[in-house]
Amino acid sequence: MQKTKAALWEFLQGLGKTFMLPVALLAFCGIMLGIGSSLSSDAVTDNVAFLKGEGFHLVFTWMANTGLVAFTFLPVLFAMAIPLGL
């Protein structure tokens, strides 16, 4: 009984370590999505004059789209993390 309990505990610890990569990636992509979408919105660009440039808009839109990819493919991230971690 003690060996099976230890083996189960070891498996669950490994599974927890497996999910650390997608969770860390979600935090980074969430920051990218938040900054990109807020600084490329019309409300902000109307109030901050130097953000109206095409280059700024392109960079912030790219940041928002890059961050959105992780949230769009969230199930795929977790499905890929399991075989990579275990």
Across 2-25, average pLDDT: 87
Task: Say what the pLDDT of residue 75 is.
Answer: 93
Q: Give the number of domains in the chain.
A: 1
Instruction: Identify which has the larger pLDDT, 8 or 35.
Output: 35
Give the model confidence (pLDDT) of 30-70 as tens digits: 999 999 999 999 898 889 888 888 999 999 999 999 999 99
Share of the chain above pLDDT 70, in %: 100
Domain that holds residue 41: 2-85
* DSSP assignments along 34-85, one per residue: HHHHHHTSHHHHHHSGGGGSHHHHHHHHHHHHHHHHHHHTHHHHHHHHHHHH
